Structure 1
Amino acid sequence: MAEHNELGKKGEELAVEYLRLKEYEILELNYRYQKAEVDIIAKRGNTLIAAEVKTRSTPEFGNPQDFVKPKQIQQLVKAVNHYVEEGELDVEVRFDIIAIIKNKAGTKIEHIQDAFFYF
């Protein structure tokens, strides 16, 4: 596995651990619908959280959250909409980004709630 893939996988594991510590219930990992993949679908109270995890080894080229592009957001919204409709869920939906910088100096996790809105 390429080094960047390993870093991404480790980032997702750290994000799941982080969310569980914050008392989120993890419902799905790497949920796929058509061309979209939602890294984590979790629930807390009556809110469904779709979390996109971005992991980098350095912020040198930009913050991890800056790498979530409009086309990806559009695909995430479509996938989560499908998930909610298929499950006939009556929940509020929130889109979060979990930005992680992990390197030899340590690990920094930033949880950005309501990272983007959809219409």
Structure 2
Amino acid sequence: MSRTGELGAAGEELAVAWLRAHGFIIMDRNWRMGRYELDIVAARGDRVHFVEVKLRREGGLTRPEEAMTPAKGRALLRAANCYIETCGVMLDCQIDLIAVEYAPDGSTEVRYVPDAVTLRW
């Protein structure tokens, strides 16, 4: 695995740990169906959360939150709709973002952004 791939996998592990620590149940990870993909599908209460994980090195040109572009939001919405149809989800849903930043000293910061994509189901 490449250094970038290792960093991405570590970022997703941090995101999963954060979600579990905050009462989420992980339903799926790295779900794919054709051209659609979702990083994490989690549930808390009576809601399903489609969680996109973005990571960056601290001090880079952009923050992880800036990677949630309108085009990425539309792609996530299509993927979420495919998941809902394929898996028969009958709960309220939302798309969230977990931003992970790696500092040069090896520390990390994890930020949760609920409803990162305005849904139009």
The normalised TM-score by structure 2 is: 0.90
CA root-mean-square deviation: 1.3
Match of 1:15 in 2: 15
Percent sequence identity is: 32
TM-superposed CA distance for 1:15, in Å, is: 0.3
CA offsets 1:18-70 (integer angstroms, 9 cap, x no match) = 10011100000001122221100000011100000011112421110111222
Letter of the aligned partner of 1:42 in structure 2? A
Match of 2:114 in 1: 113
SS, match of residue 117 in structure 2: coil
Alignment of 1:29-108 (within 5 A): 29-103=29-103, 104-108=105-109
Moved more, 28-37 or 8-17: 28-37
**Tell me, which stretches of 5 or more residues in structure 2 are unaligned?**
none
The answer (yes or no) to whether the contact 2:36–2:79 under 8 Å persists in 1 is: yes
The answer (yes or no) to whether the contact 1:50–1:93 under 8 Å persists in 2 is: yes
- Structure 1: which 4+ aligned runs deviate by more than 6 Å? none
CA offsets 1:86-118 (integer angstroms, 9 cap, x no match) = 222211111111000023251101000011112
